[in-house]
């Protein structure tokens, strides 16, 4: 119960006003219907909070039903949502003026914030403030699709606008948006539909123009067969179309090795990484997310009674659209030698009825994909004509858990440097990314040293009682989470 407990059961005439009253069945039905509709049409949904006046509990219900984030009309609405723990927020409006921009940038430090922009001066102000605060604000360029209220003019004007803001620090271009609000009062539905389609055609054609900005060619379904070299310089790659077998040479000033832990580009660069194996194997599988498990929340079952068997537990991670990914961490040595492993598995599965819904009729261990992960840090992030990003430069263990973030951060810095034609691309990229990546790999070392303790010295009981103790002290928990999260933030020297 909460602080409004005393209001439960009151007659509506006895309520203080203003009071928001909702028909819960109808609201749940509507939220679900909208989520199902979007899923069926394969579009992402970011509902507008002004419909429910940024009522956080309703926003959370929309997120739980599958919305990718929440839209707000103004800064103060976004602040209300953020203080209720909502992280992915779009302000579908321009925020102007020094004071408001200070608030905007502050909010961006705590959230994944996107704001609509349509003026260079405004973007420059946001960029300066964000850069000073060492944060990043996502910007969505609003295009005027006929509303004549705000927005950059479409086509070439938007293209030039985007090109001029791309190199700015402190902001990240997140796309374009348009609003056909001028058609809201067209009463004839057929006319409204036709005119609305024409308006969005303007937006789509502008988007297509932007996609050709970098004059790049996107090829899917190709495999890199060889890296082309001339002495020590990488010239490009030879690819093979997986479907047709057709081979093609792709030459480039700079080849980006984003091909993961076994990178062929890294090998061609002659860069060796001293890797270590994570002393933990992962048995992985995919499953349909059971309705009895809360949506969008990972679930962990520790195998406390059977740790000695080598099976440490089971993790169920939501993977979107009704699917989940399952992981069973096992200690390789004990696991191989233990004849009672099936018994321990059965014991783990009987801990909770939901586990059967997750595992279904999979046989242990043969129906699981076994992953062994090496981890390390390359001594160089590239060579003449090539740059390495992500796992190719710094394979991480799943215990680190931040590899995807590191890869994206690498890619963003590289793109930023390339867009401003940085003359010392490799050196500057390494200067910016190496310290942050080094810090991110840190916890993995800690995890590995804990796992490397002798087998008889099970860390689980000590570790668990520590977690439980911290969990009982919210301020300590907050401090622990903050210190972990700030550890991974990039510090630019
Ligand atoms: C079980 C597990 C759990 C994890 N959990 C998390 C987590 O919770 N959070 C997190 O941030 N990170 C996590 N990670 C780490 C994260 O997945 C990686 O660090 C991240 O995916 C690395 O991204 P990448 O793009 O560098 O490499 P990859 O994601 O490995 O992508 C490389 C791509 O290149 C392709 N490729 C390779 N060779 C060729 C070739 N010759 N031609 C064409 N294509 C090629 C591969 O098929 C692959 O698609 C986890 C990893 C594992 C294994």
pLDDT tens, position by position, 213-247 = 765 666 778 999 999 999 889 999 999 988 888 89
Band (pLDDT 50/70/90 cuts) for residue 7 is: confident
Gap from CA of 291 to ligand 1 centroid (Å): 29
Question: What pLDDT is recorded for position 488?
Answer: 46
Within this chain, do residues 460 and 357 fall inside the same structural domain, yes or no? no
Name the region of 361 (left: φ>0; alpha: ψ -120 to 50; beta: rest). Answer: alpha
- Determine how many CB atoms are found less than 10 A away from the CB of residue 329: 19
The mean per-residue pLDDT over the stretch 127-142 comes to 93
Residue 385 Cα to ligand 1 midpoint, Å, equals 23
Same domain, 151 and 292: no
* Res 190: pLDDT: 94
Same domain, 397 and 423: yes
Indicate if 288 and 143 belong to the same structural domain.
no
- Long-range contact set of residues 234-242: C-beta below 8 Å, sequence gap at least 24: 234/265, 234/268, 234/269, 234/383, 234/384, 234/385, 234/386, 235/385, 237/265
**Is 384 part of any domain?**
yes
- Judge if 207 and 251 occupy the same domain: no
CATH number at residue 241: 3.50.50.60
Please tell me the predicted confidence (pLDDT) of residue 200: 95
Mapping DSSP onto H, E and C, the string for 171-230 reads EEEEEEEECCHHHCCCCCHHHHHHHHHHHHHHHHHHHHHHHCCCCCCCCCCEEEEEEEEE
* pLDDT at residue 491, rounded to an integer: 42
- Decide if 180 is inside a domain: yes
More confident residue, 48 or 444: 48
- pLDDT at residue number 375: 82
- Average pLDDT (47-68) is 91
Model's pTM, two decimal places? Answer: 0.56
- Residue 27 binned pLDDT confidence (cut-offs 50, 70, 90): very high
Give tens-digit pLDDT for 456-470. 555 556 666 776 677
Q: Is residue 388 located within the same domain as residue 365? A: no
Helix (H, G, I), strand (E, B) or coil at 297: coil
Show the tokens assigned to 137.
């604000």
Phi/psi at 248 (5° precision): -150, 140
Do 196 and 287 share a domain, yes or no?
no
Mean pLDDT of 24-44: 93
**Does 468 or 392 have the greater pLDDT score?**
392
Determine the pLDDT at residue 492.
39
Average pLDDT estimate for 152-168 = 93
Alpha carbon of 170 to ligand 1 centroid (Å): 27
Using pLDDT thresholds of 50, 70 and 90, give the confidence band for residue 305.
confident
Over the stretch 329-373, which tens digit does the pLDDT of each residue have? 888 776 666 667 788 899 899 988 899 999 999 998 889 998 887
* Domain of 493, in residue numbers: 455-493
C-alpha 321 – ligand 1 centre gap (Å) = 21
How many angstroms is it from 320 CA to the middle of ligand 1?
18
- Whether 216 is in a domain gets the answer no
Claim to verify: residue 300 and residue 391 sit in the same structural domain: no
Mean pLDDT score across all residues of the chain:
87
Ramachandran bin of 134, using left for φ above 0, alpha for ψ from -120 to 50, beta for the remaining angles: left
What pLDDT, on the 0 to 100 scale, is given for residue 442?
Answer: 60
> Is there a single domain that holds both residue 251 and residue 192?
no
Is it the case that residue 107 has pLDDT exceeding 70? yes
Mutate to test the pocket of ligand 1, among 404, 441, 488 (most ligand atoms within 8 A of CB): 404
Choose one of 347, 371, 395: the last residue of a domain. 371
pLDDT band at residue 291 using 50, 70 and 90 as cut-offs = confident
Mean pLDDT over residues 387-411, rounded?
87
Residue 33, domain member (yes or no): no
- Closest-CA residue, ligand 1 atom 13, reads 401
The residue with greater pLDDT, 478 or 13, is 13
Report the number of distinct structural domains present in the chain. Answer: 4
Residues with CB under 6 A from ligand 1: 223-224, 258-260, 264, 282, 327, 371, 373, 390-392, 396, 398, 401-405, 407
| Residues 319 and 425 occupy one common structural domain | no
């Amino acid at each position: 119960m909460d602080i409004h407990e005393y209001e439960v059961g009151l007659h509506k005439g006895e309520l203080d006003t203003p009071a928001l009253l909702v028909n819960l069945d109808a609201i749940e039905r509507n939220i679900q219907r909208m989520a199902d509709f979007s899923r069926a049409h394969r579009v992402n949904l970011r509902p507008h909070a002004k419909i429910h006046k940024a009522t956080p509990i309703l926003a959370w219900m929309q997120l739980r039903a599958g919305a990718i984030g929440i839209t707000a009309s103004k800064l103060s609405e976004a602040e209300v949502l953020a203080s209720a723990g909502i992280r992915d927020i779009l302000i579908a409006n321009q925020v102007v003026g020094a004071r408001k921009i200070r608030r905007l940038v502050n909010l961006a430090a705590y959230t994944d914030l996107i704001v609509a922009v349509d003026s260079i001066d405004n973007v420059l102000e946001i960029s300066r403030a964000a850069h000073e605060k060492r944060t990043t604000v996502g910007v969505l360029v609003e295009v005027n699709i006929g509303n004549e209220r705000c927005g950059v003019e479409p086509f070439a004007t938007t293209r030039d606008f985007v090109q001029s803001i791309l190199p700015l620090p402190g902001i990240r271009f997140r796309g374009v948006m348009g609003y056909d609000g001028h058609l809201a009062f067209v009463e004839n539905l057929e006319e409204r539909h036709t005119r609305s389609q024409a308006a969005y055609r303007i937006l789509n054609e502008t988007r297509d123009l932007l996609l050709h900005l970098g004059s790049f060619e996107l090829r899917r379904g190709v495999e890199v067969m060889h890296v082309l070299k001339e002495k020590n310089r990488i010239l490009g790659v030879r690819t093979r179309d997986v479907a047709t077998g057709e081979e093609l040479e792709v030459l480039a000033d700079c080849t980006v090795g984003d091909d993961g832990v076994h990178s062929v580009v890294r090998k061609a660069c002659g860069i060796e990484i001293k890797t270590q194996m994570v002393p933990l194997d992962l048995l992985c599988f995919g499953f349909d997310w059971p309705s009895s498990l809360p949506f969008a929340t990972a679930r962990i079952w520790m195998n406390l009674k059977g740790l000695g068997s080598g099976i440490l537990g089971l993790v169920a991670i939501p993977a979107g659209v009704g699917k989940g990914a399952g992981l069973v961490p096992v200690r390789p040595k004990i696991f191989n030698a233990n004849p009672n492993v099936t018994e321990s598995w059965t014991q783990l599965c009987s801990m909770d009825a939901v586990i059967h819904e997750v595992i279904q009729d999979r046989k242990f261990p043969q129906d699981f994909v076994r992953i062994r992960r090496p981890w390390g840090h390359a001594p160089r992030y590239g060579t003449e004509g090539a740059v390495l990003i992500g796992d190719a430069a710094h394979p991480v263990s799943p215990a680190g858990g931040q590899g995807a973030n590191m890869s994206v951060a690498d890619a963003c810095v590289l793109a930023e440097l390339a867009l401003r034609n940085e003359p010392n691309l490799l050196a500057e990229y390494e200067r910016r990314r190496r310290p942050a990546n080094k810090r991110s790999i840190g916890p993995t070392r800690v995890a590995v040293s804990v796992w490397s303790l002798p087998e008889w010295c099970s860390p689980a009981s000590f570790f668990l009682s520590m977690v439980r103790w911290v969990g009982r002290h919210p301020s300590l928990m907050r401090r622990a989470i903050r210190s972990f999260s700030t550890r991974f933030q990039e510090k630019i020297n």
